[in-house]
């Protein structure tokens, strides 16, 4: 039996132990699994209490079961659910009992969602939205993922594809009736008008600055500077917990430490790096190398200095990737630490005075970080594109539409071929044509049981 025809099962709730655990079963044998373990099938979509027994009639658990006959289910197949007590022994016994039933097997990561996609229950953009929803760390990420799951991009892409097909039909009808006087001209005019409108719509979507894609990945802030200026103390303040070792000895931080923060709904990754200095210690050298690499890629660098000391321009310049040794001033902030020991409490524009040990100036720094994040991400409420894959395929569709407008004077056949290419790109966006190469990459990132 082909793996896709087998019945799959998995734990679809959190890790045990827990008060309740939920096992989901999907496939043609789901009903058999339910009757083998819990007796006759319950009324569809109604919870029923059953004593579950294994193949030797030994009791497993007093549970609640549900039966969902296909195709009106999340996966489009027959689905059974077992709501059991969430102890490890109970869970292990039930999974073992299910695995003994012929043509059943443990589900792979994302396989339930992949079956839903393959059975037409959701398109690929909605599946990507579900993946983003599972991995959302902040409320803004959650809202964006939910809009995608509800078809924000998929519905638009289906509409665009239908309109491309309609315009293509007009052009190809003109080709078929090319020997009948003014018929082609009457068909070409509305087709070109429709294509122009479509191109403008998709181009407008692509003109956005990619805020939604950035929101998925989050803002990366690197804390950098010379050794022993308080970088680890600052990251502990921002995280509100001890995530980095604080020591008066220079070179304590040897590796890159990352902390995920939720700043007013914006996802921010703060990186504590090793102190930037020349050293003969090979381990510390590797730490400095990693610090420079992460700071180069960061969206914002907080460069820490002590009090009124001047920032070392050579050390700062070593972090920048650009050939001229500069990067936008808005993405580098000078943070003057240890103001409680004397020195400037406030610096020039773009500088901050803090005491990482006492917390002085930290609220003001965080407020400014929130405003920076708001400007960085921009508005994402109406954003359609959340992934590079989506942007790439929309770009291909837009380019094909543009070329069809340019080529119509050279021949309707050439314009019609470009329209077919545009429709094909949107089909790939939705996952309805030739996407086998990307399915594994997408669904393997899902958790097992989803």
Phi, psi of 306 (to 5 degrees): -90, 125
- Asked if residue 182 has pLDDT above 90, the reply is no
User: Residue 100 has what pLDDT?
Assistant: 94
Higher pLDDT, 156 or 253: 156
Q: Which of 221-235, 254-268, 390-404 reaches the highest mean pLDDT?
A: 390-404
- Tell whether the model's pLDDT for residue 400 goes beyond 50: yes
- Residue 245's pLDDT is what? 46
Q: 415-440 burial, b if ≥16 CB within 10 A, otherwise e?
A: bbbbbebbbbbbbbbbbbeebeeebe
Q: What is the pLDDT of residues 295-329, one digit of tens each?
A: 677 888 888 888 777 666 666 665 554 444 455 54
Going by pLDDT thresholds of 50, 70 and 90, the confidence category of residue 247 is very low
pLDDT digits (tens, 9 = 90+) for 427-441: 999 988 766 666 776
Q: pLDDT-based confidence at 348, cuts 50/70/90?
A: very low
Report yes or no: 69 and 45 within 8 Å, Cβ to Cβ: no
- At residue 89, the pLDDT reads 95
The candidate with the shortest Cα–Cα distance to 68, out of 34, 116, 106, is: 34
Question: Angle 152-176/183-206 helices, nearest 10 degrees?
Answer: 160
pLDDT at site 261: 85
Distance CA 268, CA 221 (A): 7
pLDDT at position 183 is 46
Please count the other Cβ atoms lying within 10 Å of the Cβ belonging to residue 158.
18
The reported pLDDT for the residue numbered 248 is 46
List the alpha helices (DSSP H) in 299-361.
Answer: 313-317
Is there a contact between 130 and 449 (Cβ–Cβ < 8 Å)?
A: no
Q: What is the pLDDT of residues 156-170, one digit of tens each?
A: 999 999 999 888 888
Residues 182-218, buried b or exposed e (16+ Cβ, 10 A)? Answer: eebeebbeebbebbeebbebbeebeebebbbbbbbeb
Average the pLDDT over each of 17-31, 282-296, 375-389, 407-421 and give the range with the smallest value.
Answer: 282-296
At residue 251 the predicted structure's pLDDT band, cuts being 50, 70 and 90, is very low
Where is average pLDDT lowest: 216-220, 240-244, 249-253, 442-446? 249-253
Q: What is the pTM of this model?
A: 0.74
361: confidence class by pLDDT, cuts 50, 70, 90: confident
**Confidence (pLDDT) at 91:** 95
DSSP H or E segment with residue 105: strand 104-106
Nearest CA-CA partner of 55 in 8, 102, 100, 103: 100
* Spatial separation of the C-alpha atoms in residues 16 and 21, rounded to whole Å: 8
Q: What is the pLDDT of residues 100-128, one digit of tens each?
A: 999 999 999 889 999 999 999 999 999 98
- pLDDT in the model for residue 74: 92
Which of 79-88, 93-102, 209-218, 298-307 is least confident? 209-218
pLDDT score for 243: 61
């Amino acid at each position: 039996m082909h793996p896709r025809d087998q019945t799959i099962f998995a734990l679809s709730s959190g890790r045990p132990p827990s008060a309740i655990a939920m096992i989901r079963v999907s496939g043609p044998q789901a009903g058999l699994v339910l009757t083998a373990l819990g007796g006759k099938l319950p009324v569809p979509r109604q919870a029923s209490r059953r004593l579950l027994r294994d193949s030797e009639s030994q009791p497993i658990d007093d549970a609640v079961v549900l039966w969902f006959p296909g195709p009106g289910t999340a996966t489009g197949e027959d689905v059974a659910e077992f709501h059991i007590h969430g102890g490890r022994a109970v869970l292990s016994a039930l999974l073992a009992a299910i695995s003994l039933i012929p043509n059943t097997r443990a589900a792979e990561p994302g396989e339930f969602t992949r079956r839903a996609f393959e059975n037409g229950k959701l398109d690929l953009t909605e599946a990507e939205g579900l993946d983003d929803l599972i991995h959302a760390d902040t409320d803004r990420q959650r809202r964006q993922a939910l809009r995608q799951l509800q078809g924000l991009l998929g519905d638009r892409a289906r509409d665009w594809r239908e309109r491309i097909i309609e315009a293509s039909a007009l052009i190809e009808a003109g080709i078929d009736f090319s020997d009948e006087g003014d018929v082609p001209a009457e068909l070409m005019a509305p087709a070109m008008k429709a294509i122009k409108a479509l191109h403008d719509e998709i181009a407008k979507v692509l003109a956005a600055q990619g805020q939604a894609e950035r929101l998925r990945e989050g803002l990366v802030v690197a804390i950098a500077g010379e050794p022993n200026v308080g970088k680890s103390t600052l990251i502990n303040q921002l995280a509100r917990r001890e995530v980095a070792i604080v020591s008066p000895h220079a070179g304590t931080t040897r590796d890159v430490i990352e902390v995920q923060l939720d700043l007013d709904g914006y996802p921010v990754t703060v990186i504590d790096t090793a102190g930037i200095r020349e050293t003969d210690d090979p381990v510390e050298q590797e730490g400095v190398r990693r610090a420079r690499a992460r700071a180069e890629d960061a969206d914002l660098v907080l460069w820490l200095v002590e009090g009124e000391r001047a920032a070392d321009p050579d050390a700062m310049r070593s972090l920048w990737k650009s050939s001229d040794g500069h990067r936008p001033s808005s993405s580098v902030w000078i943070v003057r630490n240890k103001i409680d020991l004397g020195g400037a409490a406030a610096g020039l524009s773009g500088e901050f005075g803090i005491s990482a040990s006492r917390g002085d100036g930290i609220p003001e720094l965080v407020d400014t970080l929130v405003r920076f994040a708001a400007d960085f991400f921009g508005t994402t409420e109406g954003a359609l594109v959340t992934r590079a894959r989506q942007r790439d395929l929309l770009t291909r569709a837009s380019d094909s539409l543009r070329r069809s407008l340019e080529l119509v004077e050279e021949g309707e056949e050439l314009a019609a071929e470009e329209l077919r290419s545009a429709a094909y790109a949107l089909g790939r966006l939705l996952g309805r044509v030739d996407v086998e190469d990307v399915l594994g990459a997408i669904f393997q990132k899902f958790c097992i049981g989803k």
